[in-house]
Amino acid sequence: MSHAAADNLMLPSRSFERGVDAYDIKLGMWVFLASEVMFFGALIGTYIILRFSVDQPWAQPGVILNVPLTAFNTFLLICSSVSMVKAFAAVADGDQKNLKFWLFMTMLGGAMFVGVQVFEYIKLLGHGFTPSGYREGSQLAEHALADPLKYGAATGGLYGSTFFTMTGFHGFHVTCGVVSMTYLFFTKALPGKYSQQDYRGIEAVGLYWHFVDLVWIILFTIVYLV
């Protein structure tokens, strides 16, 4: 579909069809995403390695982290991915009104996701779950002392390190996405600068946004559920 659309883009002299049949920005975004795969690969790999090469048990899922809240957050991100793709479909069909609506919904979804995550972080830190483990003297540390198996007392430090690094960097990526979408919304979408012929910005930011969603799908499973 995008294939057919791309052929009709009124692009400047770029001869994109010689390469991979994608114009520069789309190709560049894919190349960038490849490097992002390696970045998250390093973070996730570290998590897997640290978790599965340590003998001590890890905290059981749902004990420390609020899974229902995050499941809702996951749902929110999936919704924003759908609204993004709706915005893309709208602009590909030349529908300015729906483009603005769906792009705005995507921004909203992303911003809400970040909000929920910040709320989650504040709660966790309040309970005593920090990047360096269970804070001494906190409620959580006492629980962990009482039931070290359930709370993975011995691995709390690694749990905190990997959890906050992975979800934190994901949240950072979401924030970047929201910021760039907001920028595009006000400078390009609202003034109606996108058209059926040129919607490169929307497609590229969409790719980025879906990638962030994809990473979250993996993170949600391996961090919260396993």
Partner 1 sequence: MEAATHKHPNYVLIWLYLAVLTVVEVGVAFISHFSKSTLIVLLLFFALWKALLVALYFMHLKFERWNLRTIALIPIPLALILIIIVLQEGL
Partner 2 sequence: MTSVAAHAPAHGVHHGPTSFWRKYIFSTDHKIIGIQFLFVSLFFLLVGGLLAMQIRWQLGFPGKPMPGGGILPESMTAGGVILPEYYITLVTMHGTFMVFFAIMPLLVGVYANFLIPLKVGAHDMAFPRINMASFWLALTAGLIMFAGFFVPEGAARAGWTMYAPLSARPDLSGSNIGQKLWCLSIIFLGLSSILGSLNYITTVINNRAPGMTWFRMPLSVWALFITAILGLLALPVLSGAAIMLLFDQTLGTHFFDPAAGGQALLWQHLFWFFGHPEVYILILPAMGMVSDIIANGSRKPIFGYHSMVFAIVGIAFLGWMVWGHHMFMSGMNPMLGSTFMVSTMLIAVPSAIKVFNWMGTMWRGNIRFHVPMLNAIGFVGMFAIGGLSGVFMAATPVDMFIHDTYFIVAHLHYVLFGGSLFALFGAITYWYPKMFGKVMNERWGKIHFWLTMVFYNLVFFPMHIIGMGGQMRRLYDPTIYTFLKPQQPMNEFISICAFILFAVQIIFALNFLLNLKWGKKAPQNPWEDNGLEWTLPNPAPHGNWERPPNVYRGPYEFASPQVPEDYLPQTRKLPTDREPAAAGTGH
Taking the complex as a whole, how short is the minimal distance between the CB of residue 72 and partner 2, in angstroms? 27
- Residue 200: which of partner 1, partner 2, none does it interact with, CB under 5 to 8 A by kind? partner 2
Structure tokens at 64: 């420390």
User: Please, what is the minimum distance in Å from the beta carbon of residue 98 to partner 1?
Assistant: 12
By C-beta, is 182 or 196 nearer to partner 1? 196
For residue 50, give the nearest of 38, 39, 58, 61 by alpha carbon: 58
Give yes or no for residue 151 binding partner 2 (CB under 8 A).
Answer: no
Separation of alpha carbons 171 and 174, rounded Å:
5
**Alpha-carbon gap, residue 91 to 198, rounded angstroms:** 9
- Please give the helix or strand (H or E) that residue 99 lies within, else none: helix 96-127
63 binds partner 1 (CB under 8 A): no
Angstrom distance (rounded) from CA 204 to CA 48: 30
**For partner 2, which is the closer residue by CB, 110 or 160?**
160
Kindly state the helix (H) or strand (E) to which residue 179 belongs, with its residue range. helix 156-184
Strands 129-130 and 133-134 turn out to be: antiparallel
CB of 137 to partner 1, least distance (A): 30
Identify residue 27 by its one-letter amino acid code: L
CB of 62 to partner 1, least distance (A): 6
For residue 140 the two structure tokens come to 């959580």
The entry of partner 2, partner 1, none near residue 214 (CB within 5 to 8 angstroms by kind) is partner 1
Sign of the four-CA dihedral 145, 149, 155, 161: negative
Examine residue 9 and tell whether it contacts partner 1 (CB under 8 A).
Answer: no
Q: Which of residues 85-124 bind partner 1 (CB under 8 A)?
A: 85-86, 89, 92-94
**Does position 68 bind partner 2 by CB under 8 A?**
no
- Reading the block at residue 96, the tokens are 């300015």
Of positions 14, 56, 71, 145, contacts partner 1 by CB under 8 A: 71
Interface contacts to partner 2, rule CB under 8 A: 7, 9-20, 22-25, 27-29, 31-32, 34-36, 38-39, 41-43, 46, 49-50, 53-54, 56, 130-133, 154-155, 157-158, 160-162, 164-165, 169, 180, 183-184, 187-188, 193, 198, 200-201, 204-205
